[in-house]
Structure 1
Amino acid sequence: MDLRDRLLVRKLAVVLVIKLAVLTGLWWGFVRDQRVPVDTDSAATQMLGSRPAPTTHQE
């Protein structure tokens, strides 16, 4: 690799590190504490279009 290639690789690495730091900061500031409660019946209804039949456990 010549000097121009090394400078390009260095600049790209710096840009990627900066983007990663910005994305991490945004996640840390806005998304980290957000929670989405998921209940199995509503998830099944959303995915299957109808409620699943109740299951019984026999021993």
Structure 2
Amino acid sequence: MNRQDRSLTRKLAIALAIKLAVLTGLWWGFVREQRVPVDTDAAAMQLLGSRPAPTASQE
């Protein structure tokens, strides 16, 4: 591996590390606290087209 290849490899590794740090920071700052409530009956209606049969724990 010649000197130019090592320089390019080092620059690419630094660029990837910076991108990873920026993406992690953005996720930590804006996305981490977000939660999506999921209604199981609504999800079943969307996927199955009908309400699921009640289970023993729901009766």
TM-score (norm 2): 0.79
User: Structure 2, unaligned stretches of length 5 or more?
Assistant: none
Matched with 1:37 is 37
Alpha-carbon offset, residue 56 of structure 1: 4.6
3-state SS of paired residue (2:5): helix
> Unpaired runs of 5+ in structure 1?
none
Q: What is the match of residue 10 of structure 1?
A: 10
Opposite residue 43 of structure 2, the aligned amino acid is A
TM-score (norm 1): 0.79
What CA RMSD, in Å, does the superposition of the two structures yield over aligned residues?
1.5
